[in-house]
Structure 1
Amino acid sequence: MDGPQAHWLQDGKRLHLNHGPIDLIIEAFGEAQECRLAYEQAVSRFQTILIELVRELPELRLPAFFLAPRAFDSPTARRMEAAVMPLAECFITPMAAVAGSVADEILAALLADRKLERAYVNNGGDSALHLGKGRSIGLAVAGTGNGVADRITIRAEDGVRGVATSGWRGRSFSLGIADAVTVLARTGAEADAAATLIANAVDLPGNPAIKRIPARELSPDSDLGARLVTQGVGTLAPGEVARALDNGLAVAEDFRRRGLIAGSALFLGGEARISGSVALAAPNKNPREEVAHA
């Protein structure tokens, strides 16, 4: 595996950082010198983040326990553990929050002692956001074509600083059948962990139209072990789609009532469910607004 890589994208505005499975797009807004220093700080922090996680990977792949938080050495691993602890009444490992936690960690490095108007770190669709007072940022949301606009706007006063998307079509394994579940939360790590569990809950256990395979057959070292992960979803009746979405919505609403997320959008088979903030259904009226993809 090559070492950490950093380069500018063709637009000259966005920084691309890559190391193994970590693939980040970063953009900062503000005074040029502040942005330059912020990017340098992000690149510096990125040099060791994967190495740190690999050292603690065996423990990170073990389930979290509601009453027994573990003490990890890496700050990113600690972010992962903190994000899944409130959800540990069911099976979840810190790996459910890895992408969002990496985004949070790099964003923290980007912002350290800097004065930026806005910034985002996008880790394969799971993003951490910074918004100065009175600022906003646009998000492109997965699951378009389901009756929900593909652009939303997050304002500084909303308190949302993380957005994540999960589903069986994504880059990580899912126990459910959601085409996509997008979650807004206080941090990228919290959004990532919640999106994982909500997407798992969008499901029809035992339905013959769903193809499932033990996770370890696809990836021997998966934290999901023998649990069945979705590999294909056949034709579902409209009533079945609605039932699966309602199963996921019940979990999303529980998380929202507990203050764990700000809102979510669930997509399956051309249908959608919205929990929380109506901003998830609002179109972005400014097509020139900078967009971070979710």
Structure 2
Amino acid sequence: MGLTAHLLPDGQRLHLQHGPIDLIIGAEGQRRVAFEAAVARFETILDALVAELPALRAEMSQALAMPTGAVARRMHRAALGVPGDVFFTRMAAVAGAVADEVLAAMVSQAELARAFVNNGGDIALHLEGDAQFRLMMSDHTGRGLGRIVLRAGEGVGGIATSGRHGRSHSLGIADSVTVLAPCAAQADVAATLIANSVDLPGHPAIRRRPANALMEDSDLGARPVVAGCGPLTDAECARALGAGRRVADAFTAAGLITDAALFLHAHADLTDGPRLSVADKEPAHA
């Protein structure tokens, strides 16, 4: 599928799509200039990623060479410094890195009070002055889980969500994990790895299948991914979320993220930052 670009009916948001990449973009300020910059930068992103795809699907290690393309470099930088010894590939950052790259092109060309690039739920964000960004966290059915309220100057430039109901396969059982970070690529990696760690290894209610049996070219290879999760007790949910929270705390201590919200069945665990809250009613969209 070739690149498509069109304004949404509200006239204030731009929809860009090229192959599997699908972006919703908003801008307040020099909107036309920003949208033109977004289209121009988006034109070559997919081809550049495909050219380096085999290398980007390799297991991450400090020995890997820096990639060539701008988006791939963002993926590599986001993968550096990840705490602990855990398997992942730089593809864990791809959606966030694409969003970051398009947003950077917009901000470099236009004066903007507020702008965002939403790549399937992984969001790169720019705020100036008294601008705010509000949105709802929801589960795969659309039920509200909580809210996010961000203001300029808080050090948050990226939001990402991962879990077993997301676009990619997960090694863990989290329904969803939402992370706030300085950029979307960092949020993307962290959300993936925190969601992977919400788990109860060997539990009989959890069904797993090799990743490459579900998607032949998965960068996870034959590693078992979660294909279903049956009922769990409150104590089991708390134990699984606790494992994920320890990983979230490690990312926070390393300065890689600012906040995280972890959800499993009817249970939630939030880090201590003020920007996330569990829903008591549905908040407004941004």
TM-score > 0.5, shorter chain as reference: yes
> Does the aligned pair in 1 maintain the 2:261–2:268 contact within 8 Å?
yes
Say yes or no: does 1:40 pair with 2:36: yes
Deviations 1:233-262 (A, max 9, x none): 111111111110011001101111111100
Q: Partner residue of 1:258?
A: 254
Q: Partner residue of 2:66?
A: 71
Say yes or no: does 1:168 pair with 2:160: no
Q: Partner residue of 1:205?
A: 201
Distance across 2 between alignment mates of 1:284 and 1:179: 19
> Does the aligned pair in 1 maintain the 2:212–2:220 contact within 8 Å?
yes
Q: Partner residue of 2:122?
A: 126
Q: Partner residue of 1:12?
A: 11
Partner-residue secondary structure (3-state), 2:16: strand
Q: Partner residue of 2:2?
A: 3
TM-fit CA distance, 1:165 = 0.2
Q: Partner residue of 2:77?
A: 82
Give the aligned residue type for 2:89.
Answer: T
Is the alpha carbon distance of 1:175 and 1:21 closer, same or farther for their aligned partners in structure 2, counting shifts above 3 Å?
same
Structure 2 unmatched runs, 5+: none
Partner-residue secondary structure (3-state), 2:193: helix
> Does the aligned pair in 2 maintain the 1:135–1:156 contact within 8 Å?
yes
Q: Partner residue of 2:91?
A: 95
Match of 1:185 among 177, 181, 184: 181
Distance across 2 between alignment mates of 1:115 and 1:285: 35
Distance across 1 between alignment mates of 2:205 and 2:50: 37
Tell me the number of residue pairs that the alignment of Structure 1 and Structure 2 aligns. Answer: 284
Distance across 2 between alignment mates of 1:50 and 1:276: 37
> Does the aligned pair in 2 maintain the 1:134–1:157 contact within 8 Å?
no
> Does the aligned pair in 1 maintain the 2:3–2:16 contact within 8 Å?
yes
Structure 1 unmatched runs, 5+: none
Q: Partner residue of 1:233?
A: 229
Is the alpha carbon distance of 1:144 and 1:218 closer, same or farther for their aligned partners in structure 2, counting shifts above 3 Å?
closer
TM-fit CA distance, 1:284 = 11
Distance across 1 between alignment mates of 2:200 and 2:134: 33
Q: Partner residue of 2:25?
A: 26
> Does the aligned pair in 2 maintain the 1:262–1:276 contact within 8 Å?
no
Is the alpha carbon distance of 1:196 and 1:210 closer, same or farther for their aligned partners in structure 2, counting shifts above 3 Å?
same
TM-fit CA distance, 1:46 = 0.8
Partner-residue secondary structure (3-state), 2:2: coil
